[in-house]
Chain A
Amino acid sequence: MGEPHTLPALEVRDLGLQIGGARILEGVSLAVGQGEMLGVIGPNGAGKTTLFNLVSGIHRPTSGSVLLEGVDVTTTSVAARARAGLGRTFQTSSLFPRLSVRENVRLAAQGRLGGALYVLRFPRRGDAATREADRHLETVGLTRRADVAAGDLSHGDKRKLEIAVLLATEPRVVLLDEPMAGVSSADVPGLVEVIRDLHATGCTVLMVEHHMDVVLGLVDRVAVMHHGELLACDTPDAVMADPTVQSAYLGVTAGEAA
């Protein structure tokens, strides 16, 4: 046994994915420290979501390995990784639109609290999972909407609910896939605050996000992906100054914007 706290919260080593003859991801190595917030940027198709899918276990890599707090989880299931403390949101909403807001969070708390053997125990309003759900709803400011169907929430509120769901799983490492996607600009500051709060609970955060100002203002380090490879990974300032990044990625977006 080494010293657990010196281990990176999440590490990927030489990670690669080939589908047919196509290289979707190649040779990505990255270590994220405990409590760090890392942004993942890159043009569409650069492999950001693929990286998240490999880390969370939705896809199996064709090469390399994924380590969660030093433990190799490369071949374990999505559910096993979730129980080991890995939480994620999806680019498409990861909520259950027909369940109520409270039920969405309750389900996540239930997954973590277990007790699944009590098939017929009726959850009362005040049982542990519901209490926890209500606490997390208060944290993200959705208490008043608790009994609404999740599908009826605004985009911004849906994102907040996703984070409440994440909080209920008490993750140590969180993957946020474009948390600002589809969120109105008025809702962005509130959501940034919620992400800050999430990070402040001590968990490690990885975030794919296209809003550069949001990413650069929030994260400790930025990983830049391009054509399935990791181009650079450094502090926001250093990355912005990196000439390879400028020509490969930032140059491209500047060109697109013009």
Chain B
Amino acid sequence: MSTIVLLLVTGLGLGALYFLVASGLSLIYGLMGVLNFAHGSFLTLGAFGGWFVARSLGADSWGVFALSLVAGAVVGAGAAALTEVLLIRPLYERHIEQVLVTVGLSLASVALFEGMWGSDPEFISGPTWLKGTTDLAGAPVPNDRFVAIAAAALVLGAIVLFLKRTRYGLIIRAGVENRSMVTALGIDVRKAFTLVFAVGGAAAGLGGVLASQYFGYVSPHLGGSLLIFAFIVTVIGGLGSLTGAAVASVLVAVLQQFANYYLGYGDLIVVLLLALVLLVRPTGLLGRAAA
């Protein structure tokens, strides 16, 4: 019983990390039709941003930890917004080229990070409580999982509120349905593009700081390894669907944890699940057919 609880909560924690990456991927694809391969770099940058704050101000205080989360989100948002304005926007409506640019950026940025910080993982510390465990139905659950789950839930809530309640949220929801019609109403949808990139980058940057707590280190490859699963989650959930990304994050991560523990083939099982979903329901769990 305690093993199941442990696997479940750990899976939820991993799913939270997947969601923080996948939410941005899904929003960006939904609005702009671009699969953003550079999204992992936003996460890595966020993780390093948080690490710098923690290292220079003293890693063991809660205030600094909160500050490092903010730093990660700000760095991620800034990097994403810059990417959109400098690289994506000049290629407006040229989707293949936009995707290729993000692929190039992800490769170049990893090489750049390695040059700056070395390719070895940099082990990190945080508030003492984060490193400890809490007993849950007999299972010693690492505390950082709870923080990751809470953060992802907050981000989900905040993005939903943003989409439902703000004028830009309305533009984004409409743009996901029919971008050219939004333009026909006289609305310059490109500002919404930058904003969606920034929101997605902030979530990824936040995810970076939390992922570095989850794994215990920062490294230039942190983003790339999470990005692969985030892509799988995004496709399974349905490209463009935020709720789909949330559901699929939990599904994939929990399945992965259980399969890893009992079979040892967690990653393979996830890829098989992806194949199954694509065969049975090519638009993903909550996706719509392409127009």
Task: Collect the chain A residues with CB atoms within 8 Å of residue B177's CB.
Answer: 96-99
Verify A99–B173 contact, CB threshold 8 A: yes
Choice from A82, A90, A96, A106 contacting B186 with Cβ under 8 Å: A82
Choice from B167, B178, B183 contacting A116 with Cβ under 8 Å: B167
In the complex, 20 of the A-B residue pairs with CB atoms within 8 angstroms, ordered by the A residue number, are A56-B184, A79-B184, A79-B187, A94-B178, A96-B174, A96-B181, A98-B177, A99-B170, A99-B174, A107-B170, A107-B174, A110-B167, A111-B182, A115-B167, A116-B187, A116-B191, A119-B167, A123-B167, A129-B167, A169-B185
Verify B170–A106 contact, CB threshold 8 A: yes
Task: Collect the chain A residues with CB atoms within 8 Å of residue B217's CB.
Answer: none
Verify B170–A78 contact, CB threshold 8 A: no
Given the interface pairs A96-B177, A98-B177, the reply to whether A110 lies near B170 with Cβ below 8 Å is yes
> Interface residue tally of chain A, by bracket?
20 to 34
A59 to B165, CA, bound (A): 34
**Interface assignment of A134: CB less than 8 Å from any CB of chain B:** no
Contact with A along B182-201 (1 / 0, CB 8 A): 11111110010001000000
Majority SS of interface residues in chain A? loop
Name A21-72 residues within 8 Å CB distance of B.
56, 58
Given the interface pairs A78-B184, A79-B188, the reply to whether A110 lies near B171 with Cβ below 8 Å is yes
7 closest pairs, A vs B, by CB?
A: A82-B186, A111-B185, A111-B187, A111-B186, A83-B186, A96-B177, A79-B183
Given the interface pairs A79-B186, A79-B187, A121-B166, the reply to whether A107 lies near B171 with Cβ below 8 Å is yes
**Interface assignment of B146: CB less than 8 Å from any CB of chain A:** no
**Interface assignment of A174: CB less than 8 Å from any CB of chain B:** no
Give the distance to chain A from B198, nearest Cβ to Cβ, in Å: 10
Using a CB–CB cutoff of 8 Å, the interface residues on chain A facing chain B are 56, 58, 77-79, 82-83, 88, 90, 94-99, 103, 106-108, 110-112, 115-116, 118-123, 129, 165, 169
A111 to B186, CA, bound (A): 5
Majority SS of interface residues in chain B? helix
**Interface assignment of B168: CB less than 8 Å from any CB of chain A:** yes
Verify B166–A122 contact, CB threshold 8 A: yes
Verify A94–B181 contact, CB threshold 8 A: yes
Verify B168–A119 contact, CB threshold 8 A: yes
Give the distance to chain A from B238, nearest Cβ to Cβ, in Å: 13
Verify B173–A121 contact, CB threshold 8 A: no
A95 to B178, CA, bound (A): 8
A97 to B177, CA, bound (A): 8
Residue of A nearest to B162 (CB): A120
A66 to B38, CA, bound (A): 42
Most buried by B among A83, A88, A116, A165: A116
Choice from B171, B173, B185 contacting A82 with Cβ under 8 Å: B185
Choice from B168, B174, B186 contacting A169 with Cβ under 8 Å: B186
**Interface assignment of B133: CB less than 8 Å from any CB of chain A:** no
Residue of B nearest to A113 (CB): B167
Give the distance to chain A from B99, nearest Cβ to Cβ, in Å: 24
A70 to B51, CA, bound (A): 60
A191 to B276, CA, bound (A): 47
Contact with A along B227-253 (1 / 0, CB 8 A): 000000000000000000000000000
Task: Collect the chain A residues with CB atoms within 8 Å of residue B188's CB.
Answer: 79, 116
